[in-house]
Amino acid sequence: MARRLLLLGPPGAGKGTQAQRLVAKLGVPQISTGDMLRAAVAACSEVGRQAQSYMDRGELVPDAVVIGVAEERLRQDDATGFVLDGFPRTAAQARALDALLQKLGRGLQRVVSIRVDDDELVERLLRRSRLETRSDDTPETIRNRMRVYREQTAPLIEYYRELGILAEVDGRGGVEEVERRIQEALAA
């Protein structure tokens, strides 16, 4: 089975949860720029200082900052396999990722796009905002993150379709159900 994967999907589609399931099965690291950026903010590092205001507004952190964070992680020895979650989110990030992975001889093998419609996403995100304390799960930032996804990240679906490595999965229903669909898509 493929060991270098990318999960694509709108905020609330379950990327993080499905990435955790996949890494447990494949024994590869989960690489989530959202988690790394939140850790940087918590540690008050330079990257955290650069990222915080964008994250609080539900905007994308500038490409140069995020690409730097992702690149440093992908160059580590354990990243011969990985599940990328939340990176890339723009065309420039996707190109930077391709160039880096090509240089490292670790090209992406499969991209799984998780599809969920907008009404269900808003409902899920509002539910999550009541359960967790993510400062970017307020109604305004949720709307903003969905708009940002549509405008900047969704076009990557076509980019990976053209590369012939895209699998599309229905993200409705329970975690196990979606996990099973992803496994089927990866086995195909």
Q: Which residues participate in catalysis according to the annotation?
A: 15, 89, 128, 134, 145
Scan residues 127-186 and list those touching ligand AMP (CB under 6 A).
Answer: 136, 145
How far apart CA 56 and CA 68 sit, in angstroms, is 20
Cα 188 from Cα 184, distance rounded (Å)? 6
Q: Which is nearer to ligand AMP, 28 or 47 (CB)?
A: 47
How far, CA to CA in Å, does 56 sit from each of 72, 93, 135, 143, 178? 24, 21, 6, 13, 29
CB count in 10 Å sphere of residue 97: 20
Indicate which single residue of 60, 74, 116, 142 sits in contact with ligand AMP (rule: CB under 6 A): 60
Compare residues 71 and 168 and give the one whose CB is closer to ligand AMP. 71
CB 173 within 8 A of CB 117: no
Interface residue with ligand AMP, options 33, 41, 73, 112 (CB under 6 A): 33
Shortest distance in whole angstroms from residue 87 CB to ligand AMP: 4
Query: Taking the CB of residue 67, how many other CB atoms lie within 10 A of it?
Result: 21
CB 154 within 8 A of CB 90: no
Minimum Å distance from CB 48 to ligand AMP? 11
The number of residues that bind ligand AMP (CB under 6 A) is 18
d(CA 172, CA 116): 6
Cβ partners under 8 Å of residue 138, min gap 6: 129
Q: Could you say whether residue 89 binds ligand AMP (CB under 6 A)?
A: yes
Stretch of 85-93, 109-117, 158-166, 177-185 contacting ligand AMP, by CB under 6 A: 85-93
Does 93 engage in binding with ligand AMP (CB under 6 A)? yes
User: In angstroms, rounded to a whole number, what is the distance separating the alpha carbons of residues 35 and 31?
Assistant: 8
Nearer to ligand AMP, 87 or 182 (CB): 87
Instruction: Report the residue number, 4 or 145, with the smaller CB distance to ligand AMP.
Output: 145
Q: Which is nearer to ligand AMP, 58 or 171 (CB)?
A: 58
Instruction: Give the residues lining the site for ligand AMP (CB under 6 A).
Output: 11, 33-34, 37, 54-55, 58-61, 66, 86-89, 93, 136, 145
